[in-house]
Amino acid sequence: MLFNSYEFIFLFLPITYFIYFYLNKKHLTEASKAFMVFASLFFYSWWNIKYLPLILISMIFNYSLGRELVNPKKLKTISKKTLLWIGIAFNLGLLGYFKYMDFFIANINRLTGSEFKLLHLALPLAISFYTFQQIAYLVDSYRGETKEYDFLNYAVFVTFFPQLIAGPIVHHKEMMPQFAKTKNKVIRLENIAVGLFIFFMGLFKKVVIADTFATWATQGFDVAKNLNMLEAWSASLSYTFQLYFDFSGYTDMAIGLALLFNIKLPTNFLSPYKATSIQDFWRRWHITLSHFLRDYIYIPLGGNRKGEIRTYINLFITFLLGGLWHGAGWTFVFWGTLHGLALIIHRAWQKLKIKLPLILAWFLTFNFINIAWVFFRAKSFDDALKVLKGMFTGDFILPNSWSHLFGSLKSSLHFGEWSKLYANESYMGLWLLIAFIIVVAMPNSMEWKDRFKTNFFYLILTLFFALSLFMLYKKSEFLYFNF
Amino acid sequence: MKAKTYLRILFGTLVLLFALAVGYVYYFIEHYPPPFTNRISLDAKLKYIRNNIDVNKIDTFIVGSSIGLNNVIGSILEKESKCVKHAVNLSVYEATTLEAEQLMQLTKTFPNLKRIIYSAQYSDLPHPWRYENFDANTYIGYMNHTLSWWRLLKFYFKACNNLLFCYERSQKWENKHMQPDKFTSLLFDHTCSVPLKIYKQKGVGGRWYLPHPPIMHIESFRAIARMAKSAKEHGIYFYVAHQPYRPELYKKHKSVRDGIAYFDQKVTEAIKEYNGTLIKLQNLPLNNSHFADRTHLNDRGSAISTKAVAKAIDNREKEK
């Protein structure tokens, strides 16, 4: 079920909400949790019930293992460390089988000339997210940082529907205590007000902004055979904005929904396109993934504690794996590699203690991110190169109607039909400009959330965002459902 | 303000907005064809048939692209033919032959059907395209009033959930579709045919003097064979009315003559086995004053063409 669907907004959400709080009102706390798990699994199964057993098995296995890791006294025949590795291997095995098996087979076939058949497995929804969440739980159990939660609490932590499909990647430490708090079991009107504000803002970002850019990005990346310079930049910027508004919109909706149930989900985006360095970008983009990569890959690899060269290697490996996490394809690996290299260069640059002017730093960062997204979006290297070729060596054709603006320079410029691809998209330039202003100059949704007050201004703003309810007919999936 | 007041106003306004939206949709459905499909001419027909036609009386079903819509006029057919009593024209703008085959599924709406006329020109056949999400059963239920209220509500909801699109349609409706001198006209006679009142070649441009390339997809002929077969299985006469090309272009361009000859040959082969009838209309006494463009007849031309179709039907059915 999609957050941006009628069945979710008008049926699933209100029914779940009222039953959950009704059970809590009747002091049936355990029943309310059980109901939340049931509702979340129903929400999950709406797409394809076939993968319900998978998430259940994964949950039961990880919970049981976590319990063993928390109670080392019970362990007799097997060491705690071995048990942890079994757990990690199980989770990565599951993820590897469903997400990377065909990629692996295709590469083996390419390298050896063999003809192993591809499995064509459909990627179980949310597997990348719930696998990471549970690996973190196992590692923390091993470190002795978890408490003994019962299975119901654990199941709520893993399946809680606002975050189940595409994050934010939550940590048991920040989630489980919230479900246990008595004051979170009653309806809180302030949370409903702010929750709805953030939810509708996210909905607006998705259905109005992201879906508009999606059409243009698709035309540029998937439809066009060649792109001139303006078309290529329009396509790449369209995707850059689409991805941000789509994913941050989804996260806002998740945060807003969780707030309706008095649960605070972690922040996932903090104006990433305002970043003035690549390090800064990763502190603002998909923050919960960055934290996971830092805490469970970078630091265990040694972080920055083993000398400068090892730090570079650790950074590189972390981002290479980060790229691979996003998808089973060489374009994703290459995207991760680019970010890994950029972080190494940034770190080396910091050693020089030369500070770039802020605007130049922002300009370089934004353009690097925009160019790197080309590999992230393209279905193949050929598609990526097509867009990059257009961006840097494509014909530079300005619209005929602009010719009078250039005076004597007119003769040295090329005027004509600036785009065959986007010729009918008369508002494209305006959309790009507005999106640019939003991401660079406006407060982000978390800042809006912190400023929120139940006054007339926010009421009007909420209603404005809520108008996107009338645009749900598009019903497109969120990009991060694929990762 | 207090959160409780804030939420009361918020939900109150949202409820009001939804009530207004429902009200608008009701108004829209009453006055304009709801966008059930991605073809406005089909939408308009579904609604017209539901509201105005007694499906039990219909004995003649006309199908095709705008060549069927504009060139065979149901009301004239009813007058001129001894066999045709009540006709309905379910031709849809730009329908390919495979799409016409899909439209033929809607014949189930009319239990007393005796004949089907597929009106076409070779220019209708180059692409093997089909309608996506063509929900024949729902369309049939809608036309003959057998949809349950719940399915009807769902049908309207699905059609009208893009309010902006509905609004745009309502804004364009009068100027674009209610003018008999435009190719986009949906000014139906009582059988859903549209006689065009376009008499001057001026403003039509390339549509007047550029001939279609004689490209036809083999799958289109297979579709015609399947249509003929299906008609035979149901004991229904099947006619292919091959509409005339503007005579000047026919004389001037070999490609047009070849296209027409090829069409006739392939259609004859396709329908022969199923007792279908090909009605060749190229040699009718027509001139430029009968044409709206190279293939679309205006009301003067379509009257002549329809009379010829009526005569062919009477001759064929008298044989029995």
The pLDDT value recorded for residue A34 is 94
Structural domains of chain B in order of their starting residue, each with its CATH number: 32-317 (3.40.50.1110)
A211 Cβ contact list (under 8 Å, min separation 6)? A474, A476
The pLDDT value recorded for residue B226 is 94
Closest partner residue to B2 (CB to CB) among A192, A454, A469 is A454
Q: How confident is the model at residue A479 (pLDDT cuts 50, 70, 90)?
A: low
Distance of residue B13 Cα from the nearest chain A Cα, in angstroms: 8
Asked casually if ipTM beats, i.e. exceeds, 0.85, the reply is: no
CB A131 within 8 A of CB A58: yes
Distance of residue B159 Cα from the nearest chain A Cα, in angstroms: 10
CB A412 within 8 A of CB A406: no
The crossing angle, in degrees rounded to 10, of helices A211-218 and A428-441 is: 120
3-state secondary structure of A101: helix
How far apart CA A450 and CA A199 sit, in angstroms, is 14
The pLDDT value recorded for residue B206 is 80
pLDDT digits (tens, 9 = 90+) for B238-270: 999 999 999 988 999 999 999 999 999 999 999
The pLDDT mean for chain B works out to 91
Flag if B161 and A473 touch (Cβ within 8 Å): yes
CB B62 within 8 A of CB B90: yes
Is pLDDT of B294 > 70? yes
List the single residue in A with minimal CA-CA distance to B13.
Answer: A463
Closest partner residue to B7 (CB to CB) among A189, A463, A473 is A189
CB B198 within 8 A of CB B298: yes
A187 CB near a chain B CB, below 8 Å? no
pLDDT digits (tens, 9 = 90+) for A312-322: 999 999 999 88
The pLDDT mean for chain A works out to 88
> Which residue shows structure tokens 């649960």?
A263
pLDDT digits (tens, 9 = 90+) for B198-211: 887 666 778 888 88
Q: How confident is the model at residue A420 (pLDDT cuts 50, 70, 90)?
A: confident
Closest partner residue to A189 (CB to CB) among B4, B14, B17 is B4
Residue B279's H or E segment, with its range, is strand B277-280
pLDDT digits (tens, 9 = 90+) for B206-236: 888 888 888 899 999 999 999 999 999 999 9
The pLDDT value recorded for residue A469 is 86
How far apart CA A391 and CA A235 sit, in angstroms, is 9
3-state secondary structure of A209: helix
pLDDT digits (tens, 9 = 90+) for B118-173: 999 999 988 889 988 889 999 999 999 999 999 999 899 888 888 888 999 999 99
The crossing angle, in degrees rounded to 10, of helices A52-70 and A127-142 is: 10
Average pLDDT in the A230-239 region? 92
Question: What share of chain B has pLDDT > 90, as a percent?
Answer: 74
The pLDDT value recorded for residue A483 is 55
Q: How confident is the model at residue A79 (pLDDT cuts 50, 70, 90)?
A: confident
Active site residue A326: yes
How far apart CA B287 and CA B181 sit, in angstroms, is 19
Q: How confident is the model at residue A482 (pLDDT cuts 50, 70, 90)?
A: low
A190 CB near a chain B CB, below 8 Å? yes
The pLDDT value recorded for residue A124 is 83
Q: Which residues of B touch A6 (CB under 8 A)?
A: 161
* Helix and strand numbers, DSSP H then E, in chain B: 13, 5
How far apart CA A137 and CA A141 sit, in angstroms, is 6
Is pLDDT of B45 > 90? yes
Q: Which of A108-117, A274-283, B17-26, B65-74 has the lowest mean pLDDT?
A: A108-117
Closest partner residue to A466 (CB to CB) among B4, B5, B14 is B14
Is pLDDT of A75 > 70? no
Flag if B1 and A463 touch (Cβ within 8 Å): no
**Assign residue B199 a region: left if phi > 0, alpha if psi is -120 to 50, beta otherwise?**
alpha
**Which tokens in the block code for residue A261?**
């149930």
Is pLDDT of A481 > 80? no
- Supply the pTM of this predicted model: 0.82
The pLDDT value recorded for residue A324 is 86
List the single residue in B with minimal CA-CA distance to A5.
Answer: B161
Q: Which residues of A touch B162 (CB under 8 A)?
A: 471, 473
Distance of residue A455 Cα from the nearest chain B Cα, in angstroms: 6
The pLDDT value recorded for residue A404 is 74
List the single residue in B with minimal CA-CA distance to A191.
Answer: B3
Q: What is the DSSP letter of B297?
A: B
Report how far apart the first and last C-alpha atoms of chain B are (Å, whole number): 84
B38 CB near a chain A CB, below 8 Å? no
**Which tokens in the block code for residue B54?**
């007694």
List the single residue in A with minimal CA-CA distance to B163.
Answer: A470
Question: Which candidate in B4, B6, B7 is best for mutational testing of the A interface (most A CBs within 10 A)?
Answer: B6
Flag if A192 and B1 touch (Cβ within 8 Å): no
Is pLDDT of A162 > 80? yes
The pLDDT value recorded for residue A74 is 60
The pLDDT value recorded for residue B318 is 79
Distance of residue A470 Cα from the nearest chain B Cα, in angstroms: 7
Closest partner residue to A455 (CB to CB) among B1, B17, B163 is B1
Is pLDDT of A270 > 70? yes
A472 CB near a chain B CB, below 8 Å? yes
**Which tokens in the block code for residue B87?**
């006709």
pLDDT digits (tens, 9 = 90+) for A136-156: 888 888 888 877 678 888 899
Q: How confident is the model at residue A412 (pLDDT cuts 50, 70, 90)?
A: confident
Average pLDDT in the B43-50 region? 94
Q: How confident is the model at residue A76 (pLDDT cuts 50, 70, 90)?
A: low
A462 CB near a chain B CB, below 8 Å? yes
Flag if B10 and A470 touch (Cβ within 8 Å): no
B13 CB near a chain A CB, below 8 Å? yes
The runs of H, that is alpha helices, within B62-210 are 66-71, 74-80, 97-103, 136-143, 149-160, 163-172, 206-209
A67 Cβ contact list (under 8 Å, min separation 6)? A141, A148
Is pLDDT of A158 > 70? yes
Distance of residue A267 Cα from the nearest chain B Cα, in angstroms: 24
The pLDDT value recorded for residue A480 is 60
Identify which has the larger pLDDT, A234 or A415: A234
Is pLDDT of B302 > 90? yes
Identify which has the larger pLDDT, A240 or A81: A240
Flag if B161 and A192 touch (Cβ within 8 Å): no
B7 CB near a chain A CB, below 8 Å? yes
CB A454 within 8 A of CB A192: no
List the single residue in A with minimal CA-CA distance to B16.
Answer: A463
**Which tokens in the block code for residue A212?**
């508009």
> Which residue shows structure tokens 């022969």?
B272
Q: Which residues of B touch A193 (CB under 8 A)?
A: 3, 6-7, 10
From the candidates A171, A172, A286, A326, give the one annotated as an active-site residue: A326
CB B61 within 8 A of CB B105: no
Question: Which candidate in A6, A13, A189, A469 is best for mutational testing of the B interface (most B CBs within 10 A)?
Answer: A189
Flag if B14 and A463 touch (Cβ within 8 Å): yes
The pLDDT value recorded for residue A73 is 66
Average pLDDT in the A56-70 region? 88
